[in-house]
Structure 1
Amino acid sequence: MRNAIEVNGLVVSIDNSGCIGTKEQDIVQVPNEITAYFTARTAILEQLCAGAIPVQLVMANFSGDDVWPEYELGFKKAFSEMGLEMPPLMGSSETNFQSLQSAVSLTMLGKKKFERNTNNCEFYVVGEPLVGNDVMENRKKIAQLNELYEGLNSGWIQAIWPTGSKGIGAEIIRFAGENYTADVDLTSSAGPSCAVLIAVKKEQAEQFKAKMTAPVRKLLKTRK
C-alpha cells in the first residue's frame, strides 16, 4: 500500500483539498463539484493501490453546509466514471463559522478485492505531473479512472501506484525501486494523482498501451 492503512480488515484512505473552489479568496477557482471529483479520485486511487474498493465515504466539509450537495455530485461523478454506484456518504459540515477559503476532506473505507502481483511485469507511468490550474487545462494528460479500473478488473494491470506532491521520481523508488527512471518530469508535483505508476503483465503490454488515452511512458532500468 502507498498511503492507505488497513484497520480491522478495512482499507482506509483519505484526501484533502484546500483553497480550491468558488470562494473569493480561493487560490484555484473551479466549481466545487470539480474539487470534489479530484478529491474522490485521489482517495479512490489509494484504495485501488491497496487492492480495495470503497464501501463507505466520510466527508469533513469546511466550506459551508450549502456546498454539501455540490461536493456529493463530484464524488458521484468519480464513481460513475468507473461504472460504480457511489457508496453511502456521511460526515459533518462546519456551520458555526464561515471560512474565507474552501476546504474539504474525504475519507474512504474499502474492502480488499484485488491482489497485487508485480512478478513478470513491466512498469509504466500513465499521465503527466499537473497541479493547480494546469489540471483543468490539460485533462487529456491525466490518467483516467475508468481505464485503470478496467485494467485491474481484466487482470492485465497487476498493480497501480498513485503519485502526488512529492513528484513521480519519489514514487518510482517506492513502487519499482531505485534502479528505475522514466522520460518525464520526475520532481514536479503530480497534484491529484494526475500521473499513476502501473505494473502490467509483459504479454499484455501492447493491449495496455492501446487502452490508455493519457500519455504512457515505460519505466527504464538504470545502471546501479
Structure 2
Amino acid sequence: MFKFRDLTIFDISPELRMVISCDSSGGIGDKERDVVKVDPEVLGYFTTQVALMELVATGSKPISIINTLGVEMNETGKRIIEGIKRAIKPLNMNEDIMITGSTEENIPVCQTSMGITIVGLIEKSKWRVIKAEKNDVVVAIGIPKVGNELASDMSEFFSLDLMLELINKPYVKDILPVGSKGIAYELGVMASTNGLKYELAEKIEMDINKTAGPATCALIAIDREGYEDLKESVSIPLNIIAKLY
C-alpha cells in the first residue's frame, strides 16, 4: 500500500493495482440549516466529480462508488444519488460501476452531509507514467470557486469531460485537480511528486491561495510549445502559473 497525492493505492497482484479516492461535504444542500443552498443533485454531482477526477487522472477505471449520506433516502438521498449518476456519465460505463452506500433513517436531520469513496482498478502497465519535466509550464485551467459562487456560470469550471479530453493530448504531462487547499498548495504537490521545483509567473491574475471548492479548476503541466494548441482547444479560462525546473 502507498499514497499518491490524495489517493490510496494497493498492489493486489503482480499485474493489477487498486486505487481509492474519496471526498466529503457538509452544510451544503436544501435543508433548514444548510449554509449553502443548492439542489441535492448538484451536491451529489460535484462531490462525486472531485473524487472521480483524482482517480481518472491516473488512468484508473472506477468499479464501485460508495456513498455515505447523512440524510434520509426519501427524498434527499435519492436526489444526491441522481447527481452521482450524472457525474459518471462522461465515462460511458454506467452499467459497469456499482453504486452502493448508506443513509440516515433513524434520526431526522436538518443539515445535509455526505461522503463519497470511489474504488478503481488499473493494470500496472497502464499507470500514467508521463511526468512533468524541467522547463514545462504549469497552467491553471478554470477559476477557483466555492460555496454560493458555484451558482455562477459553469462554463468557467473544470470538468471530468475536459479532463478526459486533455489526458489524450501529447503535450499534457500531468493533471492535478485543485480542491480546498488552493492552487499554491497543489502547485507544490505537483512539483514535488515529479521531483522538481517551481518558479511562479511574474503576473498571475487570480488568487492562488483561494479554495477551488469541488475542483472547479485544475493544474496541468505542459510543454511550452503546447500552450497555443491548448488555448484553441478549451473554452474556459487559462492562466500560466509557474515554470518547473
TM-score normalised by length of structure 1: 0.90
> C-alpha distance in 1, partners of 2:153/2:170?
29
> C-alpha distance in 2, partners of 1:63/1:103?
7
Question: Structure 1 residues 220, 213: closer, same or farther in 2, change over 3 A?
Answer: same
**Could you tell me which residue of structure 1 aligns to residue 208 of structure 2?**
186
Residue 166 in 1 paired to residue 181 in 2? yes
**Could you tell me which residue of structure 1 aligns to residue 78 of structure 2?**
69
In structure 1, the gaps of 5 or more residues are none
SS of aligned partner of 1:68 = helix
Question: Structure 1 residues 208, 114: closer, same or farther in 2, change over 3 A?
Answer: farther
Selected match of 2:98 from 88, 92, 96: 88
Query: How far did residue 54 of structure 1 move?
Result: 1.4
TM-score normalised by length of structure 2: 0.82
> C-alpha distance in 1, partners of 2:127/2:40?
31
> C-alpha distance in 2, partners of 1:83/1:158?
24
Query: How far did residue 185 of structure 1 move?
Result: 0.7
**Could you tell me which residue of structure 2 aligns to residue 4 of structure 1?**
7
Selected match of 1:119 from 110, 130, 133: 133
**Could you tell me which residue of structure 1 aligns to residue 88 of structure 2?**
79
Selected match of 1:140 from 155, 173, 183: 155
**Could you tell me which residue of structure 2 aligns to residue 149 of structure 1?**
164
Question: Structure 1 residues 53, 156: closer, same or farther in 2, change over 3 A?
Answer: farther
> C-alpha distance in 1, partners of 2:170/2:114?
34
SS of aligned partner of 1:190 = coil
SS of aligned partner of 1:80 = helix
In structure 2, the gaps of 5 or more residues are none
Question: Structure 1 residues 202, 55: closer, same or farther in 2, change over 3 A?
Answer: farther
Amino acid at match of 1:65: M
Query: How far did residue 82 of structure 1 move?
Result: 4.5
Mark the structure with the bigger radius of gyration.
2
> C-alpha distance in 1, partners of 2:240/2:61?
27
Q: Which moved more, 1:31-40 or 1:152-161?
A: 152-161
Selected match of 2:117 from 77, 90, 107: 107
Any conservation in 1 of the 2:45–2:87 contact (CA below 8 Å)? yes
How many residue pairs end up in the alignment?
223
Query: How far did residue 28 of structure 1 move?
Result: 0.7
Any conservation in 1 of the 2:29–2:39 contact (CA below 8 Å)? yes
Query: How far did residue 32 of structure 1 move?
Result: 0.6
> C-alpha distance in 2, partners of 1:158/1:111?
21
Question: Structure 1 residues 82, 216: closer, same or farther in 2, change over 3 A?
Answer: farther
Amino acid at match of 1:179: Y
Q: Deviations over 1:80-133 (max 9, x none)?
A: 234442611011111111222001111000123551422374321101111101
* Percent identity over paired residues: 28
Residue 58 in 1 paired to residue 66 in 2? yes
Any conservation in 2 of the 1:48–1:160 contact (CA below 8 Å)? no
SS of aligned partner of 1:140 = helix
Tell me the C-alpha RMSD between the 2 structures.
2.2
